[in-house]
Amino acid sequence: MVKLNRIYTRKGDDGSTGLAAGPRRLKSDLRVASYGDIDEANSIIGIARLHTAGDEEVDAMLMRIQNDLFDLGADLATPETGEDLVYEPLRIVEAQVKRLETEIDRLNGELSPLKSFILPGGSPAAAHLHLARTVARRAERLMVDLARKDGEAVSKPALKYVNRLSDFLFVAARYLNDRGRADVLWVPGGSR
């Protein structure tokens, strides 16, 4: 259980932050930026959920994802240092990836095939999910860069999860846009 007695510690006043394991890192560190973007996507999903009251199924999916994103943040904040930890670190697992795939398939099964790219928009929920999707893609790019750095590791399930997440957010946005009927379609050259 997490227990926060004090919100500020002053330790980060020098531009560093503490991870769950290992030495302090600069707040601009790639690992810190990765879980920062995951946190940002989570916050945007929270805003989207303000507009999903009419669809309890999707809202429940998004709530599970928000919880998963805290798991992913914990995973990224606990780098594999080779040191023995006094606790089992929280990691994203394949079951979380599989659940996302199942939910993508469930929602996508009710959508008509795309005939054009979609412009972010439509309903407020969909617009926010499109924004969360772009932030998740940014987090994925940072995580891929981090995984390629010498001395750093990002688990394969974590990378799979963030890749599926953006797919889920895209499909959920379409689903919440009246099952795709209210999608805003791109018209190539339409504003020339």
Query: Shortest CA distance to 62 belongs to which of 175, 180, 182?
Result: 175
Question: CB-hemisphere CA count at 13 Å for 171?
Answer: 22
Higher-pLDDT residue of 24 and 66 is 66
Residue 139: per-residue pLDDT:
98
Query: Shortest CA distance to 160 belongs to which of 64, 68, 27?
Result: 68
Is the CB of residue 20 less than 8 Å from the CB of residue 77? yes
Q: In the structure encoding, which two tokens stand for residue 58, read together?
A: 């999707």
Query: Which pLDDT band holds residue 1 (cuts at 50, 70, 90)?
Result: low
Question: CB-hemisphere CA count at 13 Å for 79?
Answer: 21
* DSSP tag of 5: S
Q: Which long-range contacts (CB under 8 A, 24 or more apart) does 103-111 make?
A: 103/61, 103/168, 104/164, 104/167, 104/168, 104/171, 107/58, 107/168, 107/171, 107/172, 107/174, 107/175, 108/171, 108/175, 110/175, 110/179, 111/171, 111/174, 111/175, 111/179, 111/180
Q: In the structure encoding, which two tokens stand for residue 145, read together?
A: 């860069």
Q: Which long-range contacts (CB under 8 A, 24 or more apart) does 140-149 make?
A: 140/166, 142/30, 142/33, 142/34, 142/37, 143/34, 143/76, 145/30, 146/30, 146/31, 146/34, 149/30
Percent of the chain with pLDDT over 90: 75
Q: Across the chain, what does the average pLDDT equal?
A: 92
Q: What is the mean pLDDT of residues 109-121?
A: 93
Query: Shortest CA distance to 81 belongs to which of 31, 132, 142?
Result: 31
Q: What is the mean pLDDT of residues 120-142?
A: 97
Q: What is the mean pLDDT of residues 148-165?
A: 96
Q: What is the mean pLDDT of residues 46-52?
A: 97
CATH of domain 27-80+87-183: 1.20.1200.10
Helix (H, G, I), strand (E, B) or coil at 184: strand
- pLDDT tens figures, 84-99: 777 888 999 999 999 9
Q: Poorest-confidence range of 40-44, 82-86, 112-116?
A: 82-86
pTM check: above 0.85: yes
Residue 86: per-residue pLDDT:
76
